[in-house]
Structure formats: structure tokens, C-alpha cells
Structure 1
Amino acid sequence: MHAGSVQIDGSSPSDIAASVARLITSGEVAPGERLPTVRALAAQLGVSPATVSQAWQALARAGLIESRGRAGSFVRRRDGTWLPPRTQGLAGHLGPSRLDLSRGTPDPLLLPRLERALARVSASAETPSYHDLPVVPELERVLREGWPYEAEGITVVDGALDAVSRTLEASVRFGDRVAVEVPGFPPFFDLIEALGAAPVPVALDAEGMTPESLRAALARKPRAIVLQPRAQNPTGASMTAERAEELATVLRTHPNGADVLVVEDDHSGQISTSADVSLGRWLPDRVVHVRSFSKSHGPDLRIAALGGPAAVLDQVVARRMLGPGWTSRMLQRILVALLTDGESMDEVAEATRQYYARQRALANALAEHGVEAPRSDGINTWIPVHDERFALVQLAAAGIRVAPGSPFLAPDTAGAGEFVRVTAGMIRADASGVASAIAAAALPHPPGVYSLEHRWA
């Protein structure tokens, strides 16, 4: 290790762990670098070896360091290099935890059972032609019955992100700008950059994207807008019909709004407690609405529907014919069965009630500890913290994993604050205990600075 001055804040295990975590995150301590022994660092800081040992255990639980036995402890090398940049930051280093609230996935115990749906599907995977319509007629009928506006065309693809990706690929060119919510879904930022486009941050409040921020974004002449009308990830905000109409009015009256395509990702609609809403009610000729069934019926179904102008959907369908061709018709028929079976519908309704109850239980418990969490729809909630890295390590020490907030923020939104995203939908019990741990991690921790003359002994 090379010489230099490093700073350790505080003398408790959590403070020491958070300080070392910041050194790792900033790159001052590189992946693969050997850490000092517990006794050596304890002597330098004037604390007990047990204190440093607990800090090292917290860092290991957070996935930042790893022990190699007698060789010592090392900064863990980054995993998941096949993932896009911000998705890597969101995935983090996955290790054991008592309670994982970081993934943003539905509770598998609340997904509808598949037995009845499978029994209604043909035992053979017949497809008479490679050039059949990509959506089976019975699924299209069901989708149209529940669509929030009269869409010119409807098709299905392999999940919500696939739908957003293919829609933008058909509409956005290198150098274009794309307006996107901030905080927002990290893969959207990665996708926009992969297309050679530039993200234009748009602010949101408890009712979704704000009209004022949309006007400011339109001044930069974006080619498209990506928004989440319900259960926005990460905030859990849901758009009201009044807000949707305001946004549609902004687009209709702004000098730069006429040619802007709106892409709506309704990823959690089936388990949302908010009313179905879409700007397509007012702007059907320039809105592509995406409806995913991953959160409600199972991520591995890999099915999302998208409806909108035929000019856009035809490009999506034509491009898919040169790749996957279509989404498995067997899976489509399984989804039809799930969407029309009374017991399956009851199971999804019960999941919606459970997620709502879990969100409220966590919010109420946090309030008792002095942490105000926003009203959240769906399965995620967005919690402000004093220090993101400290909060992650502190919660890891308590056996709880949450997602860091920084991947959800666009690069040019400095000063937006620090947050963590918590998948409240996975808190099946002990909301009070979880809230206590989150509050302890979120609130400011006692200051204390220990400066070292050398990097490590």
C-alpha cells in the first residue's frame, strides 16, 4: 500500500465501516487491495480489535470486502461486469443478508399460482407459421378491454424494459435528447446513453412529473419523454388524472411539444392502488403505453404489452421479426388464463392489499422514529438519508440490504440529496424493527474524525 493521508470518521464499528466504504467507493482504495489487519488498524485508531472486527464484518455483509483466510481481507473486485454501468451500481455485490430489500422484485409468495393457468394451455407448442401476428387474438382482446385509452395498435414483447428499449430504438437517433424522470429507473439512463442520446432530467413530486419541469425540458427540444405513471421506481409516486391532463396540455401547447413521443412505463399497474391513467387519453397519436405483468404475475413470464400509434408499433414488430420474432405464444396464453381466471384475479387483488398494508406499516413505523417517508404506491419507497454509504453499511451490519440511491439520480443532478430505495413489499413482518434499523441508519450519526498519517500500516 502506498503512503498517504486517509481519514476515518468516528470510533464505532459502523462509523469505521462507513469511512472505509467511502474510500472504496471513491476509488482511493482499489478493488483487490489488501486491507490492514484488525489489530494493526485498531492500534492506529486507539480502539479495540473487536470494534474493527465488527466494522470488517459489516463491510463484508455489504459485499465491499472479502476475507481470504490467513491471507487477510481484501477489497472485493466488482462483479457483474456484463451489466450496464448504473445497473451494476444498483445490483451491488450480492451476499447473504437476513432481509433483502434491495432488489425491487415482487414477493414470490404473493404471485398467483400457475397450476390452473398451465392446465388451460395446450400441451403442444404449436405455431403454424413464423409470420403469424405477434400477439394472440384472445390476449389482445383482454388487453384492449383494460387499456386506459383507445390505442391504434397493441403488441407484446419480452418485458417492460424491452418495450421501452425497442420503442426508443425506433424513435430516437444519435444525438437526440430524451426527457426522463429524476430520480428514475437506472436502466433508463443506461439505455439513453447506449443509444447515443442525452438524458434531460425532469423533476417529479407526489403526483408525478411536474408541468413546470416538463416545460423546462421541452425548451431543450427532446425527441421523447419516458415517464412512469404509477408506482414510480424508485419513489412510489403515482400520477393523478389531473396531473396527466396538465402534462398533456403542456405538450399540446408548447412550441417544441408537437413531435415529442411519450413512452409510459406502467410496470406495476396490476398491483397499484392508484387509478389507471395515461396521457394517451388526450394525446393518443403520440403516446406509447407499456403495461408489464412482471410485478403482478411473475418476472419470469417476461411479458409486457405496448399500445400506441401504428407507425411506431409497426417498426417495433418489424425489427423483432429480425430477432426473436415474437413472444412465446404459450406464455401469452398462460397470461390470458391468469388475467381471466377468477381465483388468479383474487390472488393479485390480495397481493395489492398486502403491498399497500406493508407500505403503510413501514411508513407509520418510520414516522414514530422521526423519519418521514413519502406516500408510496407499489412495492418500493424512497427514503432520504444523511449519508448514503453510512446507511448502506449500517443496515448491512443489521442484516438488511437496501438499494443505494445514487444510481437512480442522473449525472447532472448534484445536490439532490442522498437516499436509499427500500422494497417495502418484501417486509412480511416486524415493520417496526425494520423501521428502527432504517431510522438509525438514515439519521445523522455522531461526528468524530481520526486522521492517519499513512494509508495502512
Structure 2
Amino acid sequence: MYVAAQYSIAGATAKGIAASIERGVAEGGFGPGDALPPVRRLADELGVSPGTVATAYRELRQRGVVVTRGRGGTVVAQAPSVASRRPPRVPEGLVDLAGGHPDPAFLPELRPPALVRPTYGSHRASPRLGRLEGLTRDWFARDGVPSEHVTFAHGALDCIARLLSTELRPGDAVAVEDPGFHHLLDLVPALGLRMVPVAVDTEGLDPEALRTALRSGVRAVVCSPRGQSPTGAFFTRSRRDDLVAVVREFPEVLVVEDDHNADIAGVTAHSLAAAGLERWAQVRTVSKHLGIDLRWAGLACDPATLARHDGRLLMTSGWVSHVLQETAAGLLADGEVRRLVAAGEAAYAARRTALIGALAQYGIRAVGASGLNVWVPVRDESAVVNGLRTRGWWVAAGARFRIASAPAVRITTAALEAEAAQGLAADFAAVLGETQATYGG
């Protein structure tokens, strides 16, 4: 029985109806277990087609806001959530090539400041250390990104979550890369937003696919200019220019670039953020080249985006720890650390190239032009992952990175030496041969 009559659902489109219901859940108009009206009844009440309501309910199910209980109808979930794309635990005894992590040999030791003097009150009035702010401006300016307006966050995902939650409302659409960063593909629906997949090739986002997504009503775009996870794609100059031409047709859309591999991508930056867009932001994190425990990121953006981000930050955590800021500043300014990072960037490029070349010797196509990973298209992800597991390798099935794109596996090459790459390629070819013998084709 439909019991949530105290909340009036509104909307003339599937997106509007879904957003209305989600607001009802957030504001308490619907409680866990409350039944939504049957599709045809709600369609009659709103003057829309049953298909429109059915689409709204389907979107809510995909985000975990509601569940369907057969004849019991559609009800609000007990604990609205989304299915996680987090990786499974690495089995013991296997070489871990699934995590996307850097080689520890190229990470500096973290050196927090030896002395931190107590201060009176909070740092809300001066949340950013001047020394680190200057280093951050230089970091972005090095690659042509406007650095007049910069601020800090607790890592890339923390920053992107704040940007999207201040800019968009539940039910709004976000264009994401497909295949794309699995944590982002978890984050967007967790914020109550709809994902619109945009195809990626070796040069990043496909311009026509992006135009189609923007025409559908997308309010924000999240992409990587280089070191794209999982494919290693990067924007060439010509691709960047094509994408800029598309985005300028939709000046109200916020473009967020995640340049998380800025210092170890191995390629020149041709970013959208450097193109003079009206609404833009670029976030850079230090996790991949200075250490995963250094939860600090820099953000450069337009003035309106900066104000919204920092306004929300002040209402929540307030600021990034000054101890953390001092640590980051010390590392960014250290010449020895910069040389270590540069050595890592060269090694990562050589290791990617080594595996791609080794696989090519067996007629296996792989891509990975920048960053820490190689993406290998396959027909059967499970067969490849399990086959390599029996040979001592643990690689990532592509399913957790994909929405509508073709199957593949991701291999992190950051710590994979050239000799080991030859062995992995031989095992990969053997697994593919076994799969073809078993399933044909």
C-alpha cells in the first residue's frame, strides 16, 4: 500500500520526478520502507506517460535510493546507497598489478615539521599557509593553468565531491569518462547525481560523445587531461582544442579536470583549464608522487567556483591541517624530492612501454600512453583475471571501471620491471589461448 501521502511528488520529466522523490527521502517525507505510488497511478497524477515514471524509478534503483519487491512494489531502501566498485582483496602469494599505486622506491619519506607551535582559536580566518599557496600557484602556472584563484582540499575526491555538491542538485547529470576512475563512478551516484558516460579513446574524451552528453542536459563534466585511469589516455593539443570548442557551446557547464598524475604522467599537459573557459576547475593531488598518506590537493578554478568550494569547506572541516600543509610545502620545495619524482616519471614510462611492447609480440593490443596503468581489451574479463591468477598475477577486471564501454583488464605497471613484463605477456597470451580453446573464436 502507498503510505507516504504526506509528501507530494512533482515533476514533468523522469529527471524531475526522480529528483523530487530523492528530495522527499532526504527531507523525511519518505521514510525507509515507505512504498512509492504504482507507476500508472503516479503517471496519471502527474499527467505524464507511465514510461516516464518507470524511467525515474529505474534511475532511483540504480542509485540505491529505492528497491523493487515484486508484487510489493517500489519502496524506499532501508539505507540508501550505491553498489561499490572497490577492488577485491589481493589473494596471498600473487604479484599485485591491480591497485593503481606508485612504486614506493620513487616516493620520498614524509617529513612533518619538527615543531608546531600552538595557536589561539581556529585557522578559519587564514586557512592556507602563504608558503604553500605560492608553491601551488607555481605548480599550476608551470602548465599554463591560470593560478590567480587557488585553494586546498583533503585529496582529489574530497575536492570533486565538494565541487559537485555545491554546484548541482540531486537528479542532475554529470558527464564522466567511460571507462573511468572507479572511485569517481561510486562518488557521483552517492551524491544523488546521474552519470552520463562519455567514450574515451587514446586521446581522452571523444568530442562528439561529449557534445551529445551536454545536449542531454549535463550540468558538469569530470575528466582527466593525462594519466587517465584506467586507460592512460591524455589530451593531445588537437583533441584539447576540439573539446574546448564543444564545451564553449555550453558555457554554464562546470568542467572539472582531475590532473592527479601531473608530475608522473610522462606527457605534456594540454588541459581544458588552460583554455579560458567560463566555469572550470582543475584539482591536483600529491598522492601518486609524494605518498598516499599525504591527503592534500591543490585546486585552481574560476572565482565563483572558488567561493562555493571554500564556503562549503568552512562549514565542514574548516581548513586543511597546517601540519599537513607544512609537510607538503617542504616536499614540494625540496630539490632532491623533485629529482626522485622525475626518476619515477621516467621509470613509469619505460615500464608501461615495456609491457605494451611485450604484449604486442603476441599480437595483443594494449594502450597506456601516460600514467601508471595499461588497459588491455579482452572478450572475457573473468577468464583472463582467473587465468592470470593461476599463474601468479593479480590484475584488475575492467568491469569496475566501465559503464557501457567494452570489456578489458587494467594492469598497473608502476613496479613491473621489463623482465617481469616479458613473463606476464607470455602468460597473458597463454591464457587467451586457453580461453579461445574453451569458448571458441
Asked if these proteins are the same fold (TM beyond 0.5), I'd say yes
Specify which of 257, 269, 277 is matched with residue 262 of structure 2: 269
CA RMSD in angstroms, aligned pairs only = 2.1
- CA separation of 1:135/1:267 partners in 2, compared to 1, >3 Å: closer, same or farther? same
Q: Match for residue 362 of structure 1?
A: 355
Alpha-carbon distance in 2 for matches of 1:212, 1:144: 33
- Preserved contact between residue 264 and residue 289 of structure 1 (Cα < 8 Å): yes
Deviation of 1:84 after TM superposition, in Å, equals 5.7
For the pair 1:215 / 2:202, whether they are aligned, the reply is no
SS in 1 for 2:386: helix
SS in 1 for 2:435: coil
- Preserved contact between residue 211 and residue 250 of structure 1 (Cα < 8 Å): yes
Deviations 1:258-312 (A, max 9, x none): 2100000001111011112321222343111001111011111011111102222
Q: Match for residue 431 of structure 1?
A: 421
For the pair 1:188 / 2:184, whether they are aligned, the reply is yes
Deviation of 1:151 after TM superposition, in Å, equals 3.6
- Preserved contact between residue 223 and residue 256 of structure 2 (Cα < 8 Å): yes
Q: Match for residue 83 of structure 2?
A: 85
- CA separation of 1:399/1:84 partners in 2, compared to 1, >3 Å: closer, same or farther? farther
Q: Match for residue 201 of structure 1?
A: 197
SS in 1 for 2:338: helix
- Preserved contact between residue 387 and residue 442 of structure 1 (Cα < 8 Å): no
Larger RCO: 1 or 2 (CA < 8 Å, sep 6+): 1
- Preserved contact between residue 142 and residue 336 of structure 1 (Cα < 8 Å): yes
Q: Match for residue 60 of structure 2?
A: none
- CA separation of 1:92/1:375 partners in 2, compared to 1, >3 Å: closer, same or farther? closer
Alpha-carbon distance in 2 for matches of 1:440, 1:133: 59
Alpha-carbon distance in 1 for matches of 2:362, 2:272: 38
- CA separation of 1:443/1:320 partners in 2, compared to 1, >3 Å: closer, same or farther? farther
- CA separation of 1:127/1:393 partners in 2, compared to 1, >3 Å: closer, same or farther? farther
Q: Match for residue 276 of structure 2?
A: 283
| Correspondences of 1:98-247 after superposition (within 5 Å) | 98-114=94-110, 117-118=111-112, 121-124=113-116, 126-130=118-122, 131-147=124-140, 148-247=144-243
- CA separation of 1:198/1:427 partners in 2, compared to 1, >3 Å: closer, same or farther? same
- CA separation of 1:82/1:222 partners in 2, compared to 1, >3 Å: closer, same or farther? closer
**Aligned residue pair count:** 356
Alpha-carbon distance in 1 for matches of 2:438, 2:239: 46
SS in 1 for 2:375: strand
- CA separation of 1:202/1:448 partners in 2, compared to 1, >3 Å: closer, same or farther? closer
Q: Match for residue 445 of structure 1?
A: 435
Alpha-carbon distance in 1 for matches of 2:364, 2:420: 17
- Preserved contact between residue 386 and residue 444 of structure 1 (Cα < 8 Å): no
- Preserved contact between residue 150 and residue 284 of structure 1 (Cα < 8 Å): no
Alpha-carbon distance in 1 for matches of 2:396, 2:240: 29
Q: Which amino acid aligns with 1:85?
A: A
- CA separation of 1:238/1:134 partners in 2, compared to 1, >3 Å: closer, same or farther? same
Alpha-carbon distance in 2 for matches of 1:106, 1:264: 21
Q: Which amino acid aligns with 2:361?
A: E
The answer to which of 435-444 and 192-201 deviates more is 435-444
Alpha-carbon distance in 2 for matches of 1:313, 1:126: 29
- Preserved contact between residue 151 and residue 309 of structure 1 (Cα < 8 Å): no
Q: Which amino acid aligns with 1:316?
A: H
Q: Which amino acid aligns with 2:109?
A: R
Q: Which amino acid aligns with 1:95?
A: P
Q: Match for residue 381 of structure 1?
A: 374
Alpha-carbon distance in 2 for matches of 1:359, 1:192: 30
TM-score (structure 1 length as normaliser): 0.74
Specify which of 287, 312, 316 is matched with residue 309 of structure 2: 316
What stretches of structure 2 of length at least 5 have no aligned partner?
1-78
TM-score (structure 2 length as normaliser): 0.77
| Correspondences of 1:5-84 after superposition (within 5 Å) | none
Deviation of 1:368 after TM superposition, in Å, equals 1.1
Alpha-carbon distance in 2 for matches of 1:125, 1:419: 52
Matched-pair identity in %: 37
- CA separation of 1:443/1:160 partners in 2, compared to 1, >3 Å: closer, same or farther? farther
- Preserved contact between residue 251 and residue 277 of structure 2 (Cα < 8 Å): no
- Preserved contact between residue 251 and residue 278 of structure 2 (Cα < 8 Å): no
SS in 2 for 1:217: helix
SS in 1 for 2:216: coil
For the pair 1:249 / 2:267, whether they are aligned, the reply is no
Deviation of 1:242 after TM superposition, in Å, equals 2.5
Q: Which amino acid aligns with 1:241?
A: R
Deviations 1:42-74 (A, max 9, x none): xxxxxxxxxxxxxxxxxxxxxxxxxxxxxxxxx
